[in-house]
Amino acid sequence: MNKKRLPIANQIDRQTLLDQIQMLEQELGEIQGEIQAFEALLRSHIGHLIVEAQELFVLYKQIKKAKKAKRLEQKKRGKNYKEPKSLLVVPKKKKSDVIPEEQKERKRLYREAILHVHPDKFSINENETEIATEVTSRLIEIYKMGSLETLQAYHAHIFKGNTKILLGDDASKITVSSKGDYLQQEKERLENAVDSAKNNHIYTVIVEYENPLTFVDELRVYYNHRIAQLKKRTRKGV
């Protein structure tokens, strides 16, 4: 009797995770939308100050570089100057060189999954094409940016039939090996992303300031002070 109930319980748990993921995605989208809108508003008020500060900072860096080169030339003209021995530069290893086995496994998992879920396989059914496009997009994103553990979990997620894509008979021969559950990992990733977005200083201003537009005055004071400092540092030039 318990064995018959297990799939139903698992199905309910999975649907709960899907609902939680959807809610987190919506919350994250709303927060990011608020931040982007407020940042655009800030730029409309003090964009000219931000640009001026950036231009002066670039000029300041150029002046520092020129002064450093000038001092070096002066040292070279000195009697006791000795040319420094050049250090051997060791090229940084690429990720693919560091753990080739991991790269090989990532490619295998990706190619194996993309072969079964690519939208071209479902061009007859519009609904399945849309689902396959979403699954493929997420697969590519994880392959490029995610960890091997996340890719393994999503690979297992696909071949356990959790994506609503009707896989071919040959898919049943695919071996899945993942210690983690993709939906649980995705939920945790989104929770972290939401927390990070809420800790964004701009969002703190939006939710905590009685009048968020007073932040414009704070930024105006900051950038005017910054510009004054940079003007002083760049006045004399080289």
Per-residue pLDDT of the chain (238 residues; tens, 9 = 90+): 444 444 555 666 888 988 999 999 999 999 999 999 999 999 999 999 999 999 999 999 999 998 888 887 877 777 676 776 666 666 665 555 547 888 999 999 999 999 988 888 877 777 888 889 999 999 999 999 988 899 999 999 988 888 888 887 777 778 787 767 889 999 999 999 999 999 999 999 999 999 999 999 999 999 999 999 999 998 865 4
Length of the chain counted residue by residue: 238
Tell me how far apart the alpha carbons of residues 55 and 53 are, in angstroms, rounded to a whole number: 6
Q: Exposed, middle or buried, 137 (CB in 10 Å: 0-12/13-18/19+)?
A: exposed
Residue 78 DSSP symbol:
S
Report whether 230 contacts 53 (CB < 8 A).
Answer: yes
Residue 4 has which token pair? 């018959």
Long-range CB pairs of 88-91, under 8 A, 24+ apart, other chains included: none
Q: Exposed, middle or buried, 186 (CB in 10 Å: 0-12/13-18/19+)?
A: buried
